[in-house]
């Protein structure tokens, strides 16, 4: 393999003179800060937000580094994973020329981001058991293919992609492999974070939006070789993670135990929900899930979806998505919510 980040980068990004903020030029301790045109008098609320936040979020990365067992220079923080996805397109894909490979059925944001950036999408469907079609992926790659997006555990199917297959793609593809691990906390399969050293073309995405219970905070993480992280830092908006988010993230990261307990409970509830769904004759197939949701193929999916909406229960209708025909995606709720869901599904079929 001949991975070369310089060849992958867009010419304008390589030559870019990045914006240098006041906080970039002086980030030490001082008693009189008159360099950033901030309001020196304070903020009109109980907390103080009058100073610009740390553009590189050193404190948050320090704490994440301990939790994840990975050095801070391997970490980028974005306004949700969605920001990292968008920055990847902007850094590496020449609009109207380059292409990326997506593996449907998968997370919809990759395609939207590609379209926004005018980057061609080559779709290689997953196999019927939602694994990688390695040969078809290899056949779809050409000289302008910059990235392959793999989501594991995959949304909306919930299953993990076989580790061996992900490694095969990493080893044989000269572009970036973006591995979205948004649901990794719920998985039996281990994260690829520990393998970053081995694969210079690997970008692992994680988020505080799911297991960490902070979807509204908007904090996504990208882990990669420091050379890739430097590219993110060069092109991101200077203050992309606001001070409130940094403060709350620091507080949240002190509470790993609570989060781990929720993960255990969600996984137990997932097992229970699957067992009870399997007792319903109209349920045709439940994809084994490594995430906090299950994809369920069942009779009259669209009608059931509408019935549940009438009952005030919202699941995700995936019944018209390729390879998910006739299926609904159900997030694991609290024990009480899951019980209500089951009762209403049974009610619909009787």
Ligand X SMILES: *Cc1c(COP(=O)(O)O)cnc(C)c1O
Q: What ranges make up the beta strands (E) of 109-264? A: 120-123, 145-151, 176-180, 202-207, 220-223
**Residue 160 touching ligand X (CB under 6 A):** no
Smallest distance from ligand X to CB 31, Å: 38
**Residue 209 touching ligand X (CB under 6 A):** yes
Smallest distance from ligand X to CB 22, Å: 28
**Residue 137 touching ligand X (CB under 6 A):** no
The gap between the terminal CA atoms of the chain, to the nearest Å, is 58
**Residue 266 touching ligand X (CB under 6 A):** no
Q: By Cβ distance, which residue is nearest to ligand X?
A: 80
Q: Structure tokens of 318? A: 């995936």
Tell which one of 87, 151, 177, 324 touches ligand X (CB under 6 A): 151
**Residue 220 touching ligand X (CB under 6 A):** yes
Smallest distance from ligand X to CB 221, Å: 8
Angle (nearest 5°) at CA 10 between 7 and 15:
100
Contact region with ligand X (CB under 6 A), list: 37-45, 78-86, 157-165, 187-195: 78-86
Residue 260: CB atoms within 10 A of its CB come to 12
Tell which one of 207, 233, 292, 319 touches ligand X (CB under 6 A): 207
Tell which one of 72, 80, 95, 333 touches ligand X (CB under 6 A): 80
Residue 275: CB atoms within 10 A of its CB come to 10
**Residue 213 touching ligand X (CB under 6 A):** no
Which 3 state secondary structure label does DSSP give 106?
Answer: coil
Contact region with ligand X (CB under 6 A), list: 35-43, 195-203, 208-216, 298-306: 208-216
Tell the residue number behind the tokens 């799911």, with chain if given: 210
Residues that bind ligand X (rule: CB under 6 A) add up to a total of 13
Give 306's contacts (C-beta < 8 A, 6+ positions apart).
none
Element (H, E) at 293: strand 293-298
- Distance, CA of 41 to CA of 37 (rounded, Å): 12
Give 206's contacts (C-beta < 8 A, 6+ positions apart).
81, 181, 182, 184, 191, 220, 221, 223
Tell which one of 161, 170, 176, 182 touches ligand X (CB under 6 A): 182
Tell which one of 155, 157, 245, 246 touches ligand X (CB under 6 A): 155
Contact region with ligand X (CB under 6 A), list: 15-23, 130-138, 202-210, 342-350: 202-210
Cβ distance to ligand X smaller for residue 155 or 201: 155
Residue 27: CB atoms within 10 A of its CB come to 13
Burial class (CB in 10 A: 0-12, 13-18, 19+), 283: middle
Cβ distance to ligand X smaller for residue 97 or 215: 215
One character per residue 85-114, x = contact with ligand X (rule: CB under 6 A): ----------------------x-------
Contact positions vs ligand X (CB under 6 A):
80-82, 107, 151, 155, 180, 182, 207, 209-210, 215, 220
């Amino acid at each position: 393999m001949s991975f070369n980040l310089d060849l992958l980068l867009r010419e304008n990004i390589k030559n870019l003179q990045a914006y240098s903020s006041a906080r970039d030029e002086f980030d030490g301790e001082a008693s009189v800060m008159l360099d950033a045109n901030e309001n020196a008098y304070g903020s009109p609320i109980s907390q103080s937000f009058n100073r610009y936040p740390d553009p590189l979020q050193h404190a948050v990365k320090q704490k994440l580094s301990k939790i994840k067992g990975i050095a801070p220079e391997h970490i980028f923080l974005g306004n949700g994973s969605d920001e990292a996805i968008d920055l990847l397109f902007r850094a590496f894909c020449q609009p109207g020329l380059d292409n990326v490979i997506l593996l449907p059925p998968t997370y919809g944001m990759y395609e939207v981001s590609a379209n926004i950036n005018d980057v061609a999408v080559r779709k290689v469907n997953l196999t019927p058991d939602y694994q990688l079609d390695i040969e078809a992926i290899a056949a779809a790659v050409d000289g302008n293919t910059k990235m392959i997006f793999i989501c594991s555990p995959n949304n909306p199917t919930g299953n993990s992609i076989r580790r061996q297959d992900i490694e095969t793609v990493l080893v044989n593809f000269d572009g970036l492999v973006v591995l979205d691990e948004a649901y990794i906390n719920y998985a039996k399969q281990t994260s690829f974070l520990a393998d970053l050293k081995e694969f210079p073309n690997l970008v692992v995405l994680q988020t505080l939006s799911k297991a960490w219970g902070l979807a509204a905070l908007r904090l996504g993480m990208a882990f990669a070789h420091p050379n890739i992280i430097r590219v993110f830092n060069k092109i991101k908006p200077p203050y992309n993670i606001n001070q409130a988010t940094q403060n709350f993230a620091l507080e949240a990261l002190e509470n790993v135990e609570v989060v781990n307990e929720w993960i255990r409970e969600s996984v137990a509830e997932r097992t229970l929900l699957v067992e009870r769904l399997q007792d319903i004759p109209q349920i045709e197939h439940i994809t084994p899930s490594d995430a906090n949701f299950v994809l369920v193929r069942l009779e009259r999916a669209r009608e059931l979806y509408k019935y549940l909406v009438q009952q005030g229960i919202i699941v995700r209708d995936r019944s018209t998505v390729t390879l998910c025909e006739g299926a609904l995606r159900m997030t694991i709720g609290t024990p009480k919510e899951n019980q209500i869901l089951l009762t209403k599904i049974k009610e619909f079929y009787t």
